[in-house]
Every structure is written in structure tokens, then in C-alpha cells.
Structure 1
Amino acid sequence: MATTITRVRVHDGRQLTEHTAVRLIGDRIDAVGGPELLRAGDQHVDGCGGTLLPGLIDAHVHLLPGAPRQGLAFGVTTVLDMFSKPDTVRQAVAQGAGPDAAEVRSSGIGATAPGGHPSMMYAPFPYVTGPQDAEAFVAERLAEGAHHLKVFYDDSTNGGPMPMPSLDLPTVAALVSAAHRAGLLVVAHATTAQAAVDLLSTGVDVLAHVPFDPVTEAHARAISAAGVAVIATLSVADGFPGDGDEMPLLAEPELARRLGPAWSGVLQRQAQRWLPPQLPDFTAPAANVGLLHDAGVPILAGTDAPNPGTVHGASVHRELQRLVAAGLTPEEALAAATARTAEVFGLADRGRIRPGLRADLVLVDGRPDHDITDTQRVAAVWKHGIRADLDTYIGSADEQAGLAALRAQTDKVIAAVRDLLPGITRE
């Protein structure tokens, strides 16, 4: 049966169009136009003047059990995983193949040095000790079904309270070469401006995280000239309480309503966890996004969920707000979570509203191309042309499994941090 959605403002992933209706047949968009698309026998959905968007894409997550279902409830139809263990990936990919969960594209295990980030959370897993390991490591990821490769690099100036081992540049370059020969895009974890610039010579395709220290105009020009995209992950700032000690996600009524009591409780407890005396300053990352964007660097929306303060699906909407605050227009922010990310990651079948593409759509009340917070007002979601039930995740076995996995990961990290920093007495 065909489904025709009428009386909508159609934003095609790049801009608002003149169209007011979209017709779906099976898992594809059949036509885009006006009221003439509605035919006898079609399932008719009256959009009531809302805005129809392509399904949202979160360009940077780490999987929990059930995360694809949670993401879909917030309008996220595709997630790009940037490091998860094979069993978790297999379960998520299988779940995401159906209409009631976001599709998953994963790196599987990322390439990092022995004891390097993110060992605290995920060890044991295979490490990369030098360039000689590159071919075998990439082959193993391909065998596990990886869609892209994740590598971890920190420059020597990135000390911090817990410095960790890092891959060196020759090893990253060998990994990039092996991945490119295998047809894989390479996403590189880097947190400083110097690390980001260092990596350009290795041929990486995407930087995961905008640098946390100031980027210069020369840095921005170099990243732009290299054709490298940047996943902003400004949402990590939501890991710290705002005014009144409330976590930022809980201060958004539409998002808080969809979180449900269990995840709201997690965020409330995270607000009370141990925090360093000097909290991180997120002024520089936001300024860096604006500078990089102005230099022509493609900015992608990614949340790094489930870091403290972030939740799968919900945090994409906060990321969009932060991108706009950093200098992107609302339409540019929408592209960062739809068309732009699809283009960078070679997802040619999604990210736009066009005939022949996948019928992954989100209907929101309001005009998010004018007020980006309107993306939070999710009215309906279609995945593979099937309208999703947005209320089945809360209280489900998937929710319970995700919460238990997050608890286990948190306990593991806390134990490791206490070993290194004995002064920490609570979470």
C-alpha cells in the first residue's frame, strides 16, 4: 500500500522546497509534489502544516543494547557507530535492519595503541602496535562487517590528568592506506588542533570531535584544503549540569518527556557525580565549529552518546541547537544531520527527500529551518516506509538491557579512574 503525506513543509535535507506532499511506496519515496499525489486507496497522513525532514543521522555514537530503538523514537533513522565490541555491533545491526530501529553502520573495534583510549571502557580488545599490524587489523574489521575504520591519535602535548598511549603517525598512515584499499572511510579521533593538523598528512577522511583547544585560521584552511570533514560532538558539553544543577537534556521539555523515568533518573544521578574542581571550558570547541564552517569544512552532527549527559536519539536535537549557537544557520544544521553526513559517508540512498531514495522520514511540528528547537517536536517517524510506534522503547527489555550495559561500563571506568586518581571518592 502507498502512503501519502500531505499538508507539510518539505525540507529536502538541504533547503525548504516548494513541495507540500510526499508519496511512499514500499520502502522508497515514490514522488514529491502537491496534493495531486494523493490517490484513491492510499493511506493518507495529514501533516497539519508540520515540516517533513529526511530521517536524522547521528554521525558519532557508541552502541548500547537497544540503542537503535531508542534513537528511532527521537527521529534518528541511521546511526554511525565509532567503536563497539563485535557482539554488541551484531545485535544492533540485526535490530536496525527492521523498521522499528535506526539502521547501524559501525567501525567495530577502533584502532588504538596498547592501553590507549578507550581501553578503560572496552578492554580487552585487539590493539595495533605499529604499521606492521595495519593490514591484518583492517582485514579483521572487514570480516566483522565494518563500514568504516576508526583510529585514535593524540599528539604529545595532550597530557591532561590521565595521559594515555597513542598510535603514532606512521601507524595511522598505514591503517589509512589499508582501509582505503579495502574501500573503507577512515574516521580519526583527535581532541587538539595540533593532532587534527598532524593527521592530515595520513589521508584520514573525517575527524571525530572538533578540537577542544583553539583552532587558528591557518589550521582551518589546512583542514579545508585536505577535504576532511569534522564531526562536531558539541553535545559532550551536556555532560555537565547547567544552572540549578540540572542536566541540559532535562531542561528541554519535549526531550525530557520522551526520555521516560529510567533515563531521566540516569541523567539526574549523573548531575551528582564527582566532577573535577575545574570544569572543562567548551567555549573553544564552539568557536572552532564556526571557524571551520566558515573555512568550508563540512560539519557533521554527532553526539558521542552515551557519554555522561547524552542519550541516543535525544542528544541529536541538542547537537543541532549547539551547532546553530556556534554559527551555522538552522538549515545548515539540518544538513549536518541529514544530507551532509549522508554525502560524506557515501550513504547515497538517504539523507534527502527525493524520489527513489529510502523512505526514512521525520515529521516535526513547527519550522525547524527557522527555529532549530522545533526538531524536538517529533510527530511521526517512518523507517523503510513504515510508520514507527514511538512509545514502545520506554519500559521495554531493550531499555533495561541498555541501562544495565551503561551501568557496567560506568562502573568499569570509575574503577579504573580511582586506581589512577585515588582522590576521587564518588561517581
Structure 2
Amino acid sequence: MPRPRPPRPPVRLRAARMLDIDKGELAEPGDLLIEGEHITAVAPATVPPGTVELDLGDVTLLPGLMDMEVNLLLGGPDHRSPLNPVQDDPAVRTLRAVANARRTLRAGFTTVRNLGLFVQTGGLLLDVALKKAIDLGWIEGPRVVPAGHAITPTGGHLDPTMFQALAPHIMPLTVEEGIANGVAEVRKAVRYQIKHGARVIKVCASNGVMSHTGPAGAQQYSDEELHAIADEAHRAGLKVAAHCMGDRAVRAALAAGIDCIEHGFLAGDETLDLMVERGTFLVATTYIADGMDVSTAAPELQAKAADVFPRAKATTRRAIERGVRVACGTDAPAIPHGRNARELLALVDRGMTPLAALRAATTTAAALIDAEDRGRLEPGLLADVIAVPGDPLTDIGVTEDVRFVMKGGQVHRHEEAARS
């Protein structure tokens, strides 16, 4: 039997300031009592015997940030080869994820949604395995909400053989690995992901900027297939996130009852208003319009990006103006893992206040994943706490300079430079 771990002593975490995310105000000083995995008091009058005092100095405490679209199994160091889909076996890909998970956590992102493997794994759900290893404390990383394999039609945007235009029968993929056509197959694909640990379902509802098979935003699954996917997930109590760019495809996803639109780059004003009416979330991934490196992409894809990205930035601005529920998501590694806070800067550039951007990465993200145990610095919630210098309500850029990271009461980063 495993040897039981001794309980950690209580920790009193002090800093110059802390953010009340609901009031939108900085409290001075920041003062939290943490016992086990949870915050038990704010500005405690007394502390238990044996409490460890941890004074971080002139920094601001924030709730741990959340990224609602990453793929930790892709990207990171040594990801230069265009043949990576057929060169990385599942073991190498999982080890790649270990490095990416640690980098993401140290950047202050304590929860992520891993939105859909689109690789050959023999049916293994590598992100579920990653979640288990992190939860068991074997490796460092954020809390992971895994999607398993993304559900996509043959030749769809998340069919990995499409990206490199691989010849027929190179890297064959199964329904269990997400390649599904027709109502019966998409139901089977969803059921398989749920059976083996997926906590959200990812579907590819439209084409994308980097798709070889058609214009950006073209609807790929039929209305009937989208309805079937949403039905299977919802009956199991799971939400559905749809990669979706074109206005028609977004409308089809909304009609199917899909809970979250990823990207939504070409959605029209009436569609955005419908999202507001229905409370549908948007993970805008807007920084990729500024920072995604398409220099090595095929010329026709570079031309597509040059057309779509400026329109995508305008769509995000209109979504913010209209009050769409925008949650923070980066689409890393479309931008590098560990640079996740750049999405917050981009959201502010598109018209959000710094406070609204911080809420997109905390309270709004928590609502998206139905996680009532995080997103605020309050008694009873998980002790997911980060620290940044300065005032993030006036300079969102300080979120790129994370000095301290605690997840569930355990310290994963502590920069002595934070001290005054």
C-alpha cells in the first residue's frame, strides 16, 4: 500500500494586495489562511498552532487563472518537424505534455480544458492519463478538464491527416480516435470518449484557417450530426465545445444546443446576439490573430490567415461590446505554452477592461466548466492562488510576470524577486 503523506501545516499567505474579483477591488493587505487544499479564512484574526507564515512582499494575489482551450499534447520544445503527427508515438507525445503542463502551471494557469486530441493513439485518451498523473501528484501541471479525442468528420479540420495532406492509408484513424461520419458513428465516438474519462466533448463543426479542405468557416458536420453529438454529451451531463468559425456553422451549433463556441471568428452580429440570448460561451482565442506564426504554412493558408485574422479581431470586439460570455482560451500551442497570459492582453486590446479580462480567466471560465470551487479568493474554495507585481486592474500586462503559484495549497513557484 502507498505510504500516507503527512498533512501539510496550515499556511498564512501574505502580500501587499489581493483582488476581490467580484467587487473588482484590491484589498490591502492580501491575507489568506490555507489549510490543506482550501482557503479557510481571509484576513484571519487567529491562526492554528504550527501555521507557516509566507510573506510574498509587494505583489498582488489573484485567483489561479484558467485557459479554456489548450492542447498540452502538442507543441512545446522540439516541435519543428512538419511530420510530427507521424513521428511522435503516444509515449513521446505524453512526455511532451509533461513539459507543457509544468510550463503552463508556472505561468499561473492552474486549470485548463484540454480540447481534443487529434492524433493516432490506438484509442488511448492521453489527456485523461495526463490528468490522472497530475491529480496523483506524480507530475506538476494544472487541473485538466480532458476532452479525449476531438470528434471530426473524415477530412475535417481536426482530421490530422488533412493538415499535411497525407496520402491514403497513411496513419489510419478509427471512430474511437474521433474520426466519425454519420449519426451512428458520432454517437459511438462521443460514447467512447465519455466511457474512458472525457469531461467535455470537443466537436469540429466547421473548417478552420489552417484547413486544406475548403474555405475558413464552412460547416462540416450536418445539423443532424451536431444534434446527435450534443444529445449524447448532455445526457451524460457533459458540455460540448465546438471548433466553429463561419456564421452559418455557428448558427447550426447553437441550434444543436452546443454550449461553447471556440473561435467564432466570422460570426455575424445577429449570431452574437443569439449567443447572448442563450448564454452560450465564446472562447475567442483572439491572440492567435496577432501572434500565430503562419510563416511556414502553405501560401494558400497564409493568404487565408491574412483575410480571416483581421475580421476575427473585429468579431471579438463586437462580441465584447454585445456582452457575449467570453472565457479566456489561447489555443496553445498556436501560441506557445506558458505564454497564455497574452490572451488577456489581447482581450483588453479588443475592448475588455482589465477586470473583465481577469474574470474571463477566473469566474467566467469557472462557470463554463461548472466549477464552483475555484475562480475567487474566498473561504471554502480551492487554494489556487498566484501573485503578480503591480496592479493588474490598471496594467493587465503584469499577468505575464507571475512570481508565485500555489495550486491546492501546494507551492509550485516562488520567486524571491517578489519581495520588496
TM normalised by structure 1 equals: 0.77
Is the 1:134–1:178 Cα contact (8 Å) retained in structure 2?
Answer: no
1:220 alignment partner, one of 268, 272, 283:
272
Correspondence 1:22-421 to 2 at 5 A: 22-33=32-43, 36=45, 41-64=50-73, 65-66=97-98, 67-84=100-117, 86-97=124-135, 98=137, 100-120=140-160, 124-126=173-175, 127-154=179-206, 162-163=213-214, 166-211=220-265, 213=266, 215-240=267-292, 278=303, 279-281=305-307, 282-307=309-334, 310-314=335-339, 316-389=340-413
The amino acid of 2:32's aligned partner reads: V
Unaligned ranges ≥5, structure 2: 1-8, 74-96, 162-170, 416-420
- In structure 2, C-alpha distance between the alignment counterparts of 1:240 and 1:114, rounded to whole Å: 26
1:11 alignment partner in structure 2: 19
Which residue is equivalent to 2:31?
A: 21
How far does residue 91 in structure 1 lie from its aligned partner after superposition? 3.4
Question: For 1:365-389, what per-residue CA distance to the aligned partner results, in whole angstroms no more than 9, with x for missing partners?
Answer: 1111110001111111001101114
The answer (yes or no) to whether the contact 1:227–1:297 under 8 Å persists in 2 is yes
What's the offset of the Cα at 1:294? 2.3
Contact preservation (8 Å) 1:38, 1:44: no
- Secondary structure of 2:237's match? coil
What is the deviation of 1:334?
0.5
Structure 1: segments with no counterpart, 5+ residues: 242-269, 392-427
The 8 Å contact of residues 65 and 375 in structure 2, kept in 1 or not, is answered as: yes
Q: Which residue of 2 aligns with 1:254?
A: none
Contact kept in structure 2, 1:58 and 1:79, CA below 8 Å: yes
1:219 is displaced (CA, Å) by 2.1
Shift of 1:49: 2.9
CA-CA distance at 1:158 after TM superposition: 9.1
The amino acid of 2:260's aligned partner reads V
Query: 1: distance between equivalents of 2:253 and 2:393?
Result: 34
Contact 1:151 1:187 in 2 (8 A): yes
Q: Match for residue 398 of structure 1?
A: none
Aligned length: 356
Distance 1:71 1:275, change over 3 A: farther
SS in 1 for 2:341: helix
Contact persistence 1:22–1:37 (CA under 8 A): no
Kept in 2, the 8 Å contact 1:57–1:79? The answer is yes
Aligned partner of 2:213: which letter?
A: M
Higher mean C-alpha displacement, 215-224 vs 297-306: 215-224
1:88 Cα deviation from its structure 2 partner: 2.2
The Cα of 1:293 is off from its aligned counterpart by 2.1
Displacement of 1:73 in angstroms is 1.2
Over residues 43-70 of structure 1, what are the superposed CA-to-partner deviations in whole Å (9 max), with x where a residue is unaligned? 2222323111111111001122212211
Q: Secondary structure at the match of 1:366?
A: coil
Cα distance in structure 2, aligned partners of 1:160 and 1:311 = 20
CA RMSD of aligned residues (A): 2.6
> CA shift at 1:174, angstroms?
1.0
Quick one: structure 1 residues 330 and 171, their matched pair in 2 at CA, closer, same or farther if it must change by over 3 Å?
A: same
Letter paired with 1:163 = G
TM norm structure 2:
0.78
Contact kept in structure 1, 2:244 and 2:262, CA below 8 Å: yes
Partner SS state of residue 386, structure 2: strand
Cα 1:295/1:113, change in 2 over 3 Å = same
Tell me if the contact between 2:403 and 2:414 (Cα under 8 Å) persists in the aligned partners: no
Higher relative contact order (CA 8 A, sep 6+): 1
**Identity, % of aligned positions:** 29
Question: 1:298 Cα deviation (Å)?
Answer: 0.5
